[in-house]
Structure 1
């Protein structure tokens, strides 16, 4: 009984204390929802950027989209750090990640909108569309219940065609003047990073990589083993235009060329400890002759691979100075489905050189670097192709190399700037070249398909003078005059149109088999690799 009486005495007092505490905490939280009471030892205050955003949302004269405003503020903040830290809104994240994942879910066709009609340019071998009977030259009339002729955009048709794997989409097509209905079961569609892998000369292979995605090493190894089975003893690895991607894929490929436990690259940042990556297994191509092609668009993981091979004197670099991106980004997924790609370290080649070019003059200056190289003659003059104020390092064999602005080639090849840029620019801007080539392929597919392979096509097919006259007339419909076009420009255009014809039939590998025989970097590489 005594215990119960004591509880009756203290119970009102306990309720009073709890009520007072609740009032104090509630008052504090009302004043600042981001700052807890000192009772819990939390003293963090809201940053000014959050205060300003809250005030705008609460008091601004017009309605404001908080997501748009907040995203813009975040992106602007990141530009003050470096050129490659980046905020990715939730609505764009899947598309951004898709390229690195190496696949997406869809129907497996390439298309182009020509005269307000969606035309099938290529059909993935073994893919959903081929199984459903789609052919190059088909024209989409409807996707599901949606009419896709007339005012249609590439983004809209892409969204209509893509969907979860295993789902179906019914399409209405126009083929040779007749309507065809095809039901396509969507599946996983690979996005290959390896565009070509073939014997370019007896005993010499050629491999072209356009990026480093999750599947790049696997694709590369498949091509390497195939070429070795065909007697490959030397290799040209083409990284021109390769903007990088997943660092680990480039490291794995470097491991196939380097013996022992050689250092490939190391990364280090102010808040990130030094981390070294070494060769760790017996590579498939540790001894054969190797040439690596680079240009001003080769960046990031491409430069890691090139830097490692150059520092160990394993490959000859042919081309022009690479882009100069030596910053490592790590992706952090945020609570609203967006993501932050934050620069956390720099990467360094085995000799210790940083490839990152300066960015202390602002983003605009950084983004215009390639244009400045062109204006300063760097793309055409070997003497100007250098790292300004770069630091000198030594390769394993004692050759001088430079850090602080990309990878310098061992053999400089000037860019082809002799063509008439105005006329050619208009042809590309209006898709004149690709449109004419597509229509030619559709009407001459029997002739083109009569060639056994792209190599035979490269040697056996030539544009006639009548074909050129038809192209000149076709270009005039786009208000482009080709009268008096220099012979050099004419050859440039016809080579690319021939390459596109090969691409329709033999995909990207056919394209490069047609263009490479006249490619100055490739020709120089073949001379270097001669026994």
Structure 2
């Protein structure tokens, strides 16, 4: 299947990779520059910048003026036509490539000290002997503590060329001593598939956090694993997945659809329509498929959900997705920055555009999720307001809607009680990670060699819930937690499992009482 490389940036909360903009989608342009028509109107900006540069009375950073001007122009178009600075472009390229060269640690900065949550398994730091709880004091003779160092600057210090070395001075709190350790930098994978596991004897589960260059390969590996274990039902979790490369999403959708079933099509300003069809290479064309989405599932995630729903291939469970149906092309500049310009719309197989309105400005557009909180949509499907004129029919006669995201076949409300909408965001922020680290770090021997069941038992009481509530309050964030106690305790227990045992154990705890998972297993 030959398809253009297309990209849908994402919102990604990770120490390893940070996305740029929720739900954007673009086609990469060739590296060559475009010759503009040489007329007075188009030369105004160049003349003005040259005039300021040569004659303005004070010193001015004209590069900054150009950046702001380009940004201002694009803001007049649509929320997904954007200017990307060189630094942001570099970060995003790394995230979407699926790897980077570094020392391989998960960390946070506490009291101006770089603190290791844990080294990445089988990564350079683990092989060199770095352990969870170590503090990095010096890297290649650069003092890191007490400097109010930013994460961006730290990345620049710890990253480098493959096989290059970085000499670290660390403080190991558990042994109360300093150690000098040399780490050889290597390629560190940035996984886009968080986890692959079996929910029961016949149901597999795959969680995708974004669509990077390696996503289809990661997905195929996971799919083969669960098929080998006897799965004939796949739950594909695309919740909070803001997008990524369209090509990867299409290849995954193709695994579920038969040959010549339409996956997606695009239409540009000239009326040109490009259609992408399923091939005969699908690895899961006969198995049962359930897709989980929520209000933060966007772009590439919506393409998969739309293809599954419109072809009557499986069920979509959750809440209405973000609603992103525009396509951008990227134009790179020589300085490493770039512009992404909307050049087309994409449509699901039944012909619906799921792009939500943006005529009231970008602020309202991107704050739409808060509107959904306020109007009750996250708690009741009846609160979703879509026009009858946007009705479409699937081949089997089911009614589906365009005009603002994918409406699920089975609605599942937000787990947190109404009025406590901040709880899910809190539990997916860095707060639980930092809190649990601090608890473990106080007495690592008390947590050493605990089994999965022992961790569950150790965290079952209200002790850590009460400590966490105090921790959040002390950090100037008052949130009523009592009504969501069981939800919070589940995520705290899961975080203990993640830091002590790994990602799979985290999801085993989180998914056990997950409302959408329960609904998926009922059907």
Matches of 1:295 and 1:61 in 2, distance apart?
Answer: 53
What's 1:68 paired with?
A: 64
Change (3 A) 1:167 1:320: same
Deviation at 1:438, TM superposition (A): 0.5
CA contact (8 A) 1:105 1:186 kept: yes
Q: TM-score, normalising length from structure 1?
A: 0.85
What's 2:101 paired with?
A: 105
In the alignment, is residue 94 of structure 1 matched against residue 94 of structure 2? no
CA contact (8 A) 2:116 2:133 kept: yes
CA contact (8 A) 2:197 2:206 kept: yes
Deviation at 1:272, TM superposition (A): 7.2
Matches of 2:227 and 2:424 in 1, distance apart?
Answer: 40
Deviation at 1:478, TM superposition (A): 3.9
CA contact (8 A) 1:107 1:185 kept: yes
Map of 1:151-162 to 2, 5 A cutoff? Answer: 151-162=148-159
Let me know the Cα RMSD of the aligned residues: 2.6
Cα deviation per residue 1:211-241 (whole Å; 9 max; x = unaligned)?
A: 0000000000000101111111111110000
What's 2:369 paired with?
A: 370
How many residues align structurally? 483
Deviation at 1:421, TM superposition (A): 4.4
Matches of 1:351 and 1:236 in 2, distance apart?
Answer: 23
What's 2:507 paired with?
A: 512
What's 1:145 paired with?
A: 141
Matches of 2:314 and 2:214 in 1, distance apart?
Answer: 24
What's 2:295 paired with?
A: 296
CA contact (8 A) 1:387 1:406 kept: no
Change (3 A) 1:415 1:139: same
Matches of 1:61 and 1:270 in 2, distance apart?
Answer: 45
Deviation at 1:136, TM superposition (A): 1.1
What's 2:392 paired with?
A: 393
What's 2:517 paired with?
A: 522
Single out whichever of 96-105 and 149-158 deviates more from structure 2: 149-158
What's 2:257 paired with?
A: 258
CA contact (8 A) 2:171 2:178 kept: yes
What's 2:161 paired with?
A: 164
Task: Give the secondary-structure state (helix, strand or coil) at the position aligned to 1:208.
Answer: strand
Deviation at 1:46, TM superposition (A): 4.8
CA contact (8 A) 2:267 2:345 kept: yes
Change (3 A) 1:338 1:399: same
Q: TM-score, normalising length from structure 2?
A: 0.86
Single out whichever of 54-63 and 186-195 deviates more from structure 2: 54-63
Cα deviation per residue 1:456-508 (whole Å; 9 max; x = unaligned)?
A: 467555333444555456556546779xx664333232222111111113433
CA contact (8 A) 2:355 2:405 kept: yes
Change (3 A) 1:86 1:257: same
Q: Residue 485 of structure 2 is aligned with which of 484, 487, 490?
A: 490
In the alignment, is residue 55 of structure 1 matched against residue 51 of structure 2? yes
Deviation at 1:442, TM superposition (A): 3.4
In the alignment, is residue 212 of structure 1 matched against residue 211 of structure 2? yes
CA contact (8 A) 2:373 2:421 kept: no
What's 1:244 paired with?
A: 243
Task: Give the secondary-structure state (helix, strand or coil) at the position aligned to 1:201.
Answer: coil
Single out whichever of 383-392 and 422-431 deviates more from structure 2: 422-431
Change (3 A) 1:431 1:229: closer
What's 1:416 paired with?
A: 415
Deviation at 1:407, TM superposition (A): 0.5
Change (3 A) 1:195 1:270: same
What's 1:85 paired with?
A: 81
Structure 2 unpaired stretches of 5+ = 1-36
CA contact (8 A) 1:430 1:478 kept: no
In the alignment, is residue 322 of structure 1 matched against residue 321 of structure 2? yes
Change (3 A) 1:249 1:476: closer
Deviation at 1:254, TM superposition (A): 0.5
CA contact (8 A) 1:386 1:408 kept: no
Matches of 1:369 and 1:332 in 2, distance apart?
Answer: 28
What's 1:129 paired with?
A: 125
Deviation at 1:271, TM superposition (A): 4.5
Single out whichever of 419-428 and 181-190 deviates more from structure 2: 419-428
Task: Give the secondary-structure state (helix, strand or coil) at the position aligned to 1:264.
Answer: strand
Matches of 1:476 and 1:299 in 2, distance apart?
Answer: 33
Single out whichever of 424-433 and 253-262 deviates more from structure 2: 424-433
Matches of 1:255 and 1:98 in 2, distance apart?
Answer: 26
CA contact (8 A) 2:137 2:171 kept: yes
Matches of 1:380 and 1:390 in 2, distance apart?
Answer: 25
Cα deviation per residue 1:396-426 (whole Å; 9 max; x = unaligned)?
A: 2110111121100001111134277499599
Change (3 A) 1:180 1:383: same
Task: Give the secondary-structure state (helix, strand or coil) at the position aligned to 2:282.
Answer: coil
In the alignment, is residue 354 of structure 1 matched against residue 350 of structure 2? no
Change (3 A) 1:414 1:466: closer
> Relative contact order (C-alpha < 8 Å, sep 6+): which is higher?
2
Single out whichever of 272-281 and 386-395 deviates more from structure 2: 386-395
Cα deviation per residue 1:34-57 (whole Å; 9 max; x = unaligned)?
A: xxxxxxxx8633523333333333
Matches of 2:287 and 2:454 in 1, distance apart?
Answer: 30
What's 2:199 paired with?
A: 200
Matches of 1:131 and 1:181 in 2, distance apart?
Answer: 14
